[in-house]
């Protein structure tokens, strides 16, 4: 089995140590980092993502594979020149101000990275201004916001408003999610998109990137 295929297979099994070693070997044997990323790590994550989508495996297995992906990714990152890390697009994500829940947001971030997106994770309790200024500074085309509380949902509206105010709503799109968030709420506040779970969020972000 070729080494990149092996990386993909071991990643799918969530074999963290094997992916770590195989990636190191692949780098040492001179395989270009982009190939290791695309044909090894992301190829494996793409199989995992599809299996999850069709309910062949469960979230825990996706997350074990994601840990293995990071074992490889962390070694590849320094090999790409700044700004040259290949990506499907840049997404700024965070849990909105007033909320400290981040498991849901983390899951969305992991899935997005697994699908090849560059994710700038602002963490939790993130003010509206921070979402917008980061997206502008980093040249991100999408802002993803999460919350688990009804009381903090208005922050999502503030972000959409700020984007309009700064006249960047044409270039920076938004996607929102979290337990109390609904499609109707997304429409009401003018968010470009809504994701009901992490896998769905990835599909929606892919659509947004296509439309750009």
Which residues between 133 and 152 bind ligand B1M (CB under 6 A)?
144-146, 148-150
Which residues between 164 and 183 bind other proteins (CB under 8 A)?
179, 182
Nearest in space to 89 (alpha carbons), one of 130, 119, 114, 109: 119
Q: Is 150 in the site for other proteins (CB under 8 A)?
A: yes
CA distance 123 to 158: 18
Q: Is 151 in the site for other proteins (CB under 8 A)?
A: yes
- Total residues contacting other proteins by CB under 8 A comes to 26
> Considering CB distances under 5 to 8 angstroms, the limit depending on partner class, which of other proteins, ligand B1M, none binds residue 145?
ligand B1M
Cα 1 to chain centroid, rounded: 30
* Binding piece for other proteins, criterion CB under 8 A, among 26-34, 65-73, 75-83, 158-166: 65-73
* Binding piece for ligand B1M, criterion CB under 6 A, among 4-12, 47-55, 120-128, 177-185: 177-185
Using the minimum distance from each CB to other proteins, give the nearer residue, 152 or 192: 152
Could you identify the residue written with the tokens 């469960």? 58
Q: Is 177 in the site for ligand B1M (CB under 6 A)?
A: yes
3-class DSSP string for 10-75: HHHCCCHHHHHHHHHHHHHCCCCHHHHHHHHHHHHHHHHHHHHHCCCCCHHHHHHHHHHHHHHHHH
Q: Tokens in use for 163?
A: 């984007």
CA torsion sign for 110, 111, 112, 118 is positive
Q: Is 24 in the site for ligand B1M (CB under 6 A)?
A: no
Binding residues (CB under 6 A) for ligand B1M: these are 93, 101, 103-105, 107-108, 144-146, 148-150, 175-180, 195, 197-198, 201
């Amino acid at each position: 089995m070729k080494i990149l295929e092996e990386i993909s297979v071991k990643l799918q099994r969530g074999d963290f140590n094997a992916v770590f070693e195989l990636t190191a070997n692949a780098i040492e044997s001179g395989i270009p980092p982009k190939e290791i990323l695309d044909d090894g790590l992301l190829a494996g994550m793409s199989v995992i993502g599809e299996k999850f989508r069709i309910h062949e495996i469960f979230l825990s297995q996706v997350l074990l594979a994601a840990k293995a992906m990071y074992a490889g990714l962390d070694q590849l990152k320094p090999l790409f020149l700044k700004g040259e890390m290949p990506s499907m697009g840049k997404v700024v994500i965070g849990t909105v101000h007033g909320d400290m829940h981040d498991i849901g947001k983390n899951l969305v971030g992991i899935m997005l990275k697994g699908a090849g997106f560059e994710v700038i994770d602002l963490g939790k309790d993130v003010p509206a201004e921070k979402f917008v200024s980061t997206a502008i500074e980093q040249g991100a085309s999408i802002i993803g916001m999460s919350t688990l509380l009804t009381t903090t949902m208005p922050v999502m509206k503030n972000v959409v408003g700020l984007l309009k105010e700064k006249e960047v709503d044409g270039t920076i799109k938004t996607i929102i999610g979290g337990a109390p968030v609904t499609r109707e709420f997304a429409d009401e506040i003018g968010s470009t998109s809504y994701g009901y779970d992490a896998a769905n969020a990835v599909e929606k972000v892919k659509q947004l990137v296509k439309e750009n």
